[in-house]
């Protein structure tokens, strides 16, 4: 039950859990940035969307020439 899905994507349970927790953390940061952006539109203008692009790329591979690889620190610096 706990290993079928991770195995289907070529990961062990612990590798999959690590990735899922990492993705969750990035999404929390993106949600906070989006909340601040809602109140102050001049801040974090692309942080949430770039975070989603990064996660999409890591899950599904790059989308043509639009591949983005950004660290959490870079996302927060914007």
Per-residue pLDDT of 7-57, as tens digits, reads 888 889 999 999 999 999 999 999 999 999 999 999 999 999 999 999 999
Question: Which residue range forms the structural domain that includes residue 58?
Answer: 24-77
CA 20 to chain centre: 10
Are 57 and 67 in contact, with CB atoms under 8 Å apart? yes
Q: What is residue 54's predicted lDDT score, i.e. its pLDDT? A: 92
Residue 19 domain-assigned (yes or no): no
The answer as to whether 10 is a domain residue is no
User: For the purposes of burial, counting CB atoms within 10 Å of the CB of 10, is it exposed (0-12), middle (13-18) or buried (19 or more)?
Assistant: exposed
pTM score, whole prediction:
0.70
Answer whether residue 58 is part of any domain.
yes
pLDDT score, position 73: 52
Please indicate, yes or no, if residue 67 is contained in any of the structural domains.
yes
Q: Report how many domains make up the chain.
A: 1
Residue 55 within a domain: yes
């Amino acid at each position: 039950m706990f290993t079928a899905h991770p195995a289907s994507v070529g990961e062990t349970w612990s590798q999959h859990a690590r990735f899922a927790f990492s993705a969750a953390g990035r999404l929390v940061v993106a949600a906070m940035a989006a909340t601040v952006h809602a109140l102050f539109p001049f801040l974090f203008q692309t942080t949430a969307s770039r975070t989603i692009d990064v996660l999409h790329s890591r899950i599904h591979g790059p989308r043509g020439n639009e591949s983005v690889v950004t660290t959490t620190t870079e996302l927060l610096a914007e």
